[in-house]
Structure 1
Amino acid sequence: MTGLKRVFRVLVVLMFLGTAYQTYANLVEEYKNGLIWEEPKVVETAPHQPPSDAIVLFDGKNMDQWKGGDKWKIKDGYVVADKQSIETKQSFGDCQLHIEFATPAKVEGNGQGRGNSGVFLMGNYEVQILDSYDNKTYFDGQAAAIYKQYPPLVNACRKPGEWQSYDIIFNAPRFNEYGQLVKPAYLTVIQNGVIVQNHTELQGATYYHQPPFYTAHEDKLPIELQFHKNPVKFRNIWIRELAEIHPVGCVCPE
């Protein structure tokens, strides 16, 4: 068989298969679940900029969004933790939080005494900030740990003094009218582009001196940044409130 005949036969087979597939596709009805959804809103994004629907908590200029923020010193577009912990004036529940930080370039101390701070969601659930670059401490207390509950999946820390980022996705706990836990809190944390907590279920509030447990609280509470006697730097802090989506209607089959 010549090469031309082989090509011709291949083309014939492909044409046959194409016709068969089209016939099958015409016989199969498209699946439709009948749910009607609202159109997702448009969110504009740009490199190194907060999304258009974000609430900017610190842009390098002032700490107006924070209670006690006047105690921290702003310099060259970043703010340095000092004197006391601070919390947002606004309260949040489910959210996406972006925060950038740098532990001191000059290494002093060790373990929990080195570049220590923390991000407290709802003031109760801490994602640890620590200089964990070549710094031994208990694993559920190192950087990106859910404090005293879960170590990070990996140690993604950069060298002391280098800027790092946390992108935190937080699902707040739910309580019923009697104060009973209906749904636990969940945390996903991406450190420097690496997933270090993967939809981790929290056992309760994160305590230093006792086991975790849940206490009923409001649906929204402030976010706290901890001052732990170390001059940790922060910059580029923004947050997006997250809402559950539900269908607005249904086209039900008769």
Structure 2
Amino acid sequence: MKIQLGSTLLFLALSITSMAQTKFKPEDTEFYSSKPPVVTLKNQVPSDAIVLFDGTNLDQWVSRNNPEQPADWTVESGVLTVKPKTGDIQTKQVFEDFQLHVEWKSPEVIKGQGQGRGNSGIFLQGLYEIQVLDNDDNPTYVNGQAGSLYKQRPPLVEVRAKEDKWHLYDIVYKAPRFNKDGMLISKGSVTVLHNGILIQNNTQIEGTTEYIGLPKMQAHGAGPVILQDHGDLVNFRNIWIRPL
């Protein structure tokens, strides 16, 4: 036993010495195949993005209540505005992992307080809400304020609107994965930049973002992006998505 152990240690020592004496060239660790695709920007939109709203129409959207019906929100002067009591709208296409850009603005006339003030939401795969809410000196529960993963995780910092009153969300989302039997393999996660400031850093999603009760983890595949009708005249513009 001692002889075998000694031989093994000697072999390992010789191997390490041999590796240390090996001389590498720079090209030994360089590869040139599988080059990444070229992506350019045009009007601040990546060339490989799917434009969901460019200010002209709602061709990429349908009613959430009845996907056979077109979206019935208001489009005027390049801006999409919630039409209260018409219901949420959702993308015609469904997605898994993606990068999403959305710009939003609180109503011109602010009414109410807390969750009743400029409320809307962006639902990832139709299940996980990133909160949209007027956050100009508007106290509410912190895991329900603007930029929160609703009722799960508050933003790292509170970001106010720019001088033109518009907010920018850049969202990088990784969908949860389930096996063929519907068992969870890995939870989803989300990273959010609010006006260029990191507010959610690879945040783990515990399940659906419920208004009442705990998150629910339900097996699902690809899903739409949903914009919420919460009864307030919230505005949106420049919406695009890059499937990853």
Q: Under a length normalisation based on structure 1, what TM-score does the superposition of the two structures give?
A: 0.80
Partner of residue 162, structure 1: 165
Equivalent residue for 1:210, pick from 206, 210, 213: 213
The whole-number CA distance in structure 2 between the counterparts of 1:195 and 1:35 is 33
SS in 2 for 1:67: strand
Give runs of aligned pairs for residues 14-163 of structure 1, distance below 5 A. 28-30=24-26, 32=28, 37-46=33-42, 48-68=43-63, 70-82=71-83, 83-158=86-161, 162-163=165-166
Which has the higher Rg, Structure 1 or Structure 2?
1
- How far did residue 107 of structure 1 move? 1.8
SS in 2 for 1:112: helix
- How far did residue 98 of structure 1 move? 0.3
Q: 8 Å contact 1:106–1:161 — kept in the other structure? A: no
Moved more, 232-241 or 48-57: 48-57
Moved over 2 A (4+): 26-37
- How far did residue 36 of structure 1 move? 7.5
Distance 1:131 1:44, change over 3 A: same
Equivalent residue for 1:237, pick from 233, 236, 239: 239
Unaligned runs of at least 5 residues, structure 1 = 1-25, 243-254
Q: 8 Å contact 2:71–2:89 — kept in the other structure? A: no
Unaligned runs of at least 5 residues, structure 2 = 1-21, 64-69
Partner of residue 197, structure 2: 194
- How far did residue 27 of structure 1 move? 5.1
**Paired residues, what number?**
215
Q: Under a length normalisation based on structure 2, what TM-score does the superposition of the two structures give?
A: 0.83
SS in 2 for 1:140: helix
Partner of residue 176, structure 1: 179
What is the letter of the counterpart of residue 78 of structure 1? V
Fraction of identical pairs, as percent: 47
Moved more, 77-86 or 138-147: 77-86
Cα shift readout 1:12-69 (whole Å, capped 9, x = no counterpart) = xxxxxxxxxxxxxx955448568785110001114x4211000000000000100135
